[in-house]
Copies of this chain bind each other. A is one copy, B any other.
Amino acid sequence: MMNNRTKRFLKYMEDEGIKKAVILKKENINYFLGKYFMSFSVLVFEEEPCLYVGKLDKDYAEELFDFLEIREFKSWEGIFKGCDGVEGELPISYLKYIDKDYKIVSEKIKELRMIKDKEEIKLIKKAAEISDKAINYVSNNLEDIKNLNEYELVAEIEYIMKKHGSIKPAFDSIVVSGKKTSFPHALPTKDKIKDILLIDIGAVYNGYCSDITRTFLLKDDEEMRKIYNLVYEAKELAEEHLKEGVSAKEIDNIVRAFFGDYEKLFIHSLGHGVGLEVHEEPRLSNKLKEDIILKEGMVVTIEPGLYLKNRFGVRIEDLYLIKKNGFERLSKAEIPIY
Residues of A within 8 A of B (CB): 36, 38-39, 54-57, 59-60, 63, 86, 88-93, 95, 104, 106, 151-152, 154-155, 158-159, 162-163, 165, 167-169, 171-172, 182-187, 267-268, 307, 309
Contact = CB atoms under 8 A, between A and B. Distances in A.
Contacts of A38: 171-172, 185
B151 A155 contact: no
B172 A59 contact: no
Contacts of A86: 92
Given A89-B91, A91-B91, 16 more contacts: A36-B187, A38-B171, A38-B185, A54-B268, A56-B185, A56-B268, A59-B183, A59-B309, A88-B93, A92-B95, A152-B163, A154-B162, A159-B159, A159-B162, A167-B187, A168-B172
In the complex, the count of this chain's copies comes to 2
Contact of A185 (B39, B91, B152, B268): B39
A57 B152 contact: no
A169 B158 CA distance: 11
Contacts of A309: 59
B172 A169 contact: no
A186 B155 CA distance: 24
Contacts of A154: 162
Contacts of A93: 88-89, 104, 106
Contacts of A267: 55-56
Given A92-B92, A159-B158, A165 B151 contact: yes
Given A104-B93, A162-B154, A172-B167, A57 B184 contact: yes
Nearest to A267: B56
Contacts of A57: 183-185
Nearest to A184: B56
9 A-B pairs with the lowest CB-CB distances in the bound complex, closest first: A88-B93, A60-B183, A155-B162, A56-B268, A159-B159, A89-B91, A56-B267, A155-B163, A39-B185
A88 B96 CA distance: 11
Contact of A158 (B158, B171, B172): B158
A318 to B, nearest CB: 19
Contacts of A63: 183
